[in-house]
C-alpha cells in the first residue's frame, strides 16, 4: 500500500527537482523516501500518515524552544492581524537588532536579511569593500550557503586556490576563494605567509556543523584572530548554526574570541526565514545607505520573521536557565554516547558543543574534513533507517549535526541512545 508521503514524493518529483526544495531532504544518502511532515509540537513531529517522530533535526537548528512554542505562536498571531509585509521600517526590526547586539559580544551594528546564505554573501562583500582585497579563506568541509564564492573545493595542496564544486560557478570566482584545513594551525599560518596581503577575510564556522560537529582545537580560533590582525584581514564567524544555540552569545562567547563580522540565522528567526550580519561599527557603517557597499532586500526584516525572532530571543534572554537545561541534556547524552563509543572505538566518535552534537562513523580523533571523509556511510545509512523505524528522526546525512531543544527530556535522550545501541549491536561486530 502506498503511503501518503510516497504519493506526495511522487507528485513532487514531477514538479520539483529531486522532489525536494533542499537536497539533503531527499534521503539520497540514506535510502528510502522522505516522510512529509504535517505538524510538530515540542520535541515531536508528525508526518502526513500520522507517524510520530522524536526530532533531532529541529529544522536544522532554529527550534531551540521546541516546535510550536506558545510564545512564538502568540507573537505570530498578533502580528498577522496587522499585516505581513510592508517594505518599510517597523519597530520590531529595532527590537530584534537590540536583542542581537545585547547578546553577541562582537556585534555593535547589525543588518537583517532573509537567510544564512544572504548573510554570508553580504558579509563577504563587506569584507572585500572594507579591505580593498578580493581573496577569502574558507575551510574544507565548512558550509556557508550556496553563493558562488562558497561552492568550491580544495585544489592539489592543503591550502590552494579553490576550484568550482558545482556547475555554474565561474572558475574565476572560485579562484578567489582559498581553501584551508580546519584546525590546521600550521597550514593557516603558511597560507597567510604566502598570500596574506591579498586576503580580505577568513570565514569559519567556529564550531563546524556541516561535517558532523567538530569543535576548534585549543588555540585555533586565537590563531585565526592573530593572523588576520597581522595581515589586515577581517575574521568572519559564521554563527548561522551556533549563534544562540551553543550559548546565548554564540560560540564567540564560549571561546572568548571576537570576530570582526558575524553571520547569524536559524534561532534568530524562531523557525521563520531570517538571517543577519553584524560586527564592528566602523565596518558596518560601510553598508548602504550609510556607506558605499550595496545590499538590499524587500523582505528583509519582515514583520513575521522579526516577531518570531523577538519572541525566541526575548525568552532566551529572560530565561538563561534554558541554556543550563540544554547543557544538562547534552551531558546526559555525553554519558550515554560515550559508553557506546567505548564499545566501538574504531567505528564511532561523539562530539558535542552546547546543544548540538555529532556522531561520526569514523575513529577518533576527528578534527577536520580529512577524518570525516572516511566515515562509513553505509553503516550510517543502516543506522539512520533503524532509528527512523523506531520513530526517531535524525539528519539524513552523516555529515550533519544533531540538534535538541529545551522541550526534549532525559527520557528522549535515553530513547535515542537505546535505539543507537540496538542498531550498532546489530550492525557492528564488537
Question: Do 24 and 169 belong to one domain?
Answer: no
Cβ–Cβ < 8 Å for 129, 172: no
At 294-350, the pLDDT tens digits run 999 999 999 999 999 999 999 999 999 999 999 999 999 999 999 999 999 999 999
Averaged pLDDT score across all residues of the chain: 94
Lowest mean pLDDT among 145-149, 268-272, 285-289: 145-149
**Enzyme catalytic residues:** 143, 238, 266
What pLDDT is stored for residue 429 in this prediction? 67
Cβ–Cβ < 8 Å for 9, 33: yes
CA distance 171 to 66: 42
Question: Do 231 and 305 belong to one domain?
Answer: yes
Question: Do 208 and 228 belong to one domain?
Answer: yes
Helix 321-343 crosses helix 303-318 at what angle (to 10 degrees)? 80
Question: Do 269 and 408 belong to one domain?
Answer: no
CA distance 430 to 423: 13
Question: Do 302 and 408 belong to one domain?
Answer: no
At 220-234, the pLDDT tens digits run 999 999 999 999 999
Question: Do 164 and 138 belong to one domain?
Answer: yes
At 144-155, the pLDDT tens digits run 988 888 888 754
Query: Residue 393's domain is classified under what CATH number?
Result: 3.90.1150.10
Domain total for the chain? Answer: 2
Residue 159 has pLDDT above 80, yes or no: no
Mean pLDDT of 167-173: 85
Mean pLDDT of 384-411: 96
Measuring CA to CA, which residue among 200, 209, 215 is closest to residue 240?
Answer: 209
What pLDDT is stored for residue 160 in this prediction? 45
What pLDDT is stored for residue 428 in this prediction? 87
What pLDDT is stored for residue 153 in this prediction? 74
What pLDDT is stored for residue 157 in this prediction? 37
Question: Do 265 and 283 belong to one domain?
Answer: yes
Amino acid at each position: 500500500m502506498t503511503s501518503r508521503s510516497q504519493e506526495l514524493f511522487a507528485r513532487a518529483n514531477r514538479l520539483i527537482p529531486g522532489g525536494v526544495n533542499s537536497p539533503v531532504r531527499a534521503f539520497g544518502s540514506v535510502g528510502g523516501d522522505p516522510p512529509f511532515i504535517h505538524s510538530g509540537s515540542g520535541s515531536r513531529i508528525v508526518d502526513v500518515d500520522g507517524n510520530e517522530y522524536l526530532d533531532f533535526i529541529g529544522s536544522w537548528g532554529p527550534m531551540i524552544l521546541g516546535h510550536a512554542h506558545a510564545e512564538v505562536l502568540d507573537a505570530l498571531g498578533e502580528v498577522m492581524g496587522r499585516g505581513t509585509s510592508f517594505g518599510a521600517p517597523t519597530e520590531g526590526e529595532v527590537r530584534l537588532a537590540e536583542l542581537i547586539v545585547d547578546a553577541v559580544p562582537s556585534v555593535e551594528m547589525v543588518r537583517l536579511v532573509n537567510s544564512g546564505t544572504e548573510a554570508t554573501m553580504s558579509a563577504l562583500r563587506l569584507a572585500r569593500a572594507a579591505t580593498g582585497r578580493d581573496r577569502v579563506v574558507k575551510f574544507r568541509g565548512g558550509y556557508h550557503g550556496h553563493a558562488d564564492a562558497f561552492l568550491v573545493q580544495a585544489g592539489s595542496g592543503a591550502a590552494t586556490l579553490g576550484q568550482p564544486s558545482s556547475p555554474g560557478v565561474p572558475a574565476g570566482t572560485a579562484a578567489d576563494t582559498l581553501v584551508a584545513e580546519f584546525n590546521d594551525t600550521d597550514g593557516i599560518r603558511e597560507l597567510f605567509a604566502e598570500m596574506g596581503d591579498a586576503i580580505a577575510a577568513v570565514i569559519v564556522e567556529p564550531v563546524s556543523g556541516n561535517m558532523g560537529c567538530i569543535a576548534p582545537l585549543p588555540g585555533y580560533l586565537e590563531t585565526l584572530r592573530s593572523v588576520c590582525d597581522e595581515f589586515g584581514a577581517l575574521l568572519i564567524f559564521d554563527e548561522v548554526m551556533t549563534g544562540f544555540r551553543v550559548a546565548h552569545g554564540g560560540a564567540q562567547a564560549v571561546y572568548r574570541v571576537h570576530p570582526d563580522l558575524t553571520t547569524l540565522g536559524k534561532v534568530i528567526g524562531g523557525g521563520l526565514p531570517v538571517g543577519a550580519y553584524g560586527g564592528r561599527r566602523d565596518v558596518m557603517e560601510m553598508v548602504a545607505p550609510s556607506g558605499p557597499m550595496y545590499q538590499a532586500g524587500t523582505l528583509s526584516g519582515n514583520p513575521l520573521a522579526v516577531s518570531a525572532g523577538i519572541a525566541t530571543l526575548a525568552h532566551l534572554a529572560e530565561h538563561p536557565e534554558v541554556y543550563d537545561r540544554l547543557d544538562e541534556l547534552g551531558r546526559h547524552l555525553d554519558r550515554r554516547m560515550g559508553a557506546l563509543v567505548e564499545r566501538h572505538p574504531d567505528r564511532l566518535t561523539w562530539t558535542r558543543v552546547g546543544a548540538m552534537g555529532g556522531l561520526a562513523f569514523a575513529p577518533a580523533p576527528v578534527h577536520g574534513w580529512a577524518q570525516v571523509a572516511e566515515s562509513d556511510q553505509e553503516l550510517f545509512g543502516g543506522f539512520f533507517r533503524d532509528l527512523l523505524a523506531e520513530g526517531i528522526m535524525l539528519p539524513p546525512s552523516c555529515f550533519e549535526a544533531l540538534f535538541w531543544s529545551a522541550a526534549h527530556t532525559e527520557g528522549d535522550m535515553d530513547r535515542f541512545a537505546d535505539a543507537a545501541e540496538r542498531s550498532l549491536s546489530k550492525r557492528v561486530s564488537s
